[in-house]
């Protein structure tokens, strides 16, 4: 089944970009980044930026932007059955040359999991710092939310 990514959450003050691979089935249904209730992303962001995890979605996005954080996915469209990154086929990537020209204040990229990292490294040849962080997905069950949070706390150094 063909799927498409969401528009980026970004503004001219964004300094870091958090990149996922492509939204999960739950996220696509809700039309929200990281909507699966067991995904640790919003738990981690709430801890790092000191807000309540259960805030309305638009308020959470605005708090990320206020802290210089943009959200996007490396894959623009693909085919995938289910939500697993391993099921992704027929990938079309985002146009990051245009994206970074439009948002020149972004200085580093944090990839949410291995698939986002691998796909971004295939297409990006610039000099920006790129970090691979553990996936916040519930499919990454070998790490607890707290272990994921500890790894993700490095983004504080760049915002």
> How much is the pLDDT for 1?
66
Instruction: Tell me, yes or no, if 105 is annotated catalytic.
Output: no
> How much is the pLDDT for 83?
82
Whether the pLDDT of residue 88 is over 70: the answer is yes
First to last CA, the chain: 37
Model's pTM, two decimal places?
Answer: 0.95
- Mean pLDDT, range 138-144, rounded to an integer: 91
Residue pLDDT, tens place only, 24-60 = 999 999 999 999 999 999 999 999 999 998 999 999 9
CB 108 within 8 A of CB 129: yes
Catalytic residue among 39, 62, 67, 112: 39
d(CA 116, CA 140): 14
Q: Residue 150 — very low, low, confident or very high, per pLDDT cuts 50/70/90?
A: very high
Per residue in 96-125, is it b (16+ CB within 10 Å) or e — as a string?
Answer: beeebeebeebeebbbbbebbbebbeeebe
Enumerate the domain spans of the chain: 2-158
Task: Please name the fold of domain 2-158.
Answer: Uracil-DNA Glycosylase, subunit E (3.40.470)
């Amino acid at each position: 089944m063909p799927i498409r990514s969401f528009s980026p959450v970004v503004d001219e003050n964004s300094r870091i970009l958090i990149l996922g691979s492509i939204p999960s089935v739950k996220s696509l249904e809700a039309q929200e980044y990281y909507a699966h209730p067991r995904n640790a992303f919003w738990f981690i962001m709430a801890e790092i930026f000191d807000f309540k995890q259960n805030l309305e979605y638009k308020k959470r996005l605005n708090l990320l932007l206020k802290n210089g954080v943009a959200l996007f996915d490396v894959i623009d469209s693909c085919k995938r059955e289910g939500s697993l990154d391993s099921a992704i086929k027929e990938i079309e990537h985002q146009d990051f040359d245009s994206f970074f020209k439009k948002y020149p204040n972004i200085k580093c990229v944090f990839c949410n999991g291995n698939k986002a990292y691998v796909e971004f490294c295939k297409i990006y040849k610039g000099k920006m710092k790129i970090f691979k962080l553990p996936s916040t997905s519930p499919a990454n069950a070998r790490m607890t939310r707290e272990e994921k949070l500890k790894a993700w706390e490095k983004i504080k150094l760049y915002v």
